[in-house]
Amino acid sequence: MNIKKYKFCRLAIIIALSMSISISISLDNYYLPIIFVLSAAAGMYYCRKQLKTDKVMVDERDFQVAGNAARYTLFIYGWIGAIGTFVLMAVSPSKESITYLLSQYFAFNVCFVLILNAFLFKYLSKRQK
């Protein structure tokens, strides 16, 4: 498979995935999208394995840009989540209101993402040594 066929294969998988997820969600079936995403990942893996090329697909700059994008994304998500948490707590009339519960969800979500990032960073840095 050449690069043109590989890009077409990826595009076809993405189009089929988005259509099937949209249809299954509109039919109130929330379990099928999980199966569709897993099968699309398997299809992408198969397409990548069929690609026969000597050309470099990615280089170190791509990884550096991806690392910077991930760092900025976590930074922005953390700040927006923290500010959103406090704003929702401030405007909620009681601890039983939906806005207070939503603020708690945002707080735990931000904490989970940042703790997961710290653990993954520690694991990957030890793995590279």
Q: Are residues 28 and 68 in the same domain?
A: no
Q: Are residues 66 and 103 in the same domain?
A: yes
Q: Are residues 64 and 46 in the same domain?
A: no
Q: Are residues 46 and 64 in the same domain?
A: no
Tokens linked to 20: 């099937």
Q: Given this model, what pLDDT does residue 20 score?
A: 93
Q: Are residues 15 and 43 in the same domain?
A: yes
**Is residue 91 included in any domain, yes or no?**
yes
Please tell me what DSSP assigns to residue 92: -
**Is residue 108 included in any domain, yes or no?**
yes
HSE (CB half, 13 Å, CA atoms) of 40? 18
Total number of domains constituting the chain = 2
Distance CA 6, CA 51 (A): 7
pLDDT tens digits, residue range 2-52? Answer: 888 888 999 999 999 999 999 998 898 888 999 999 999 999 999 988 888
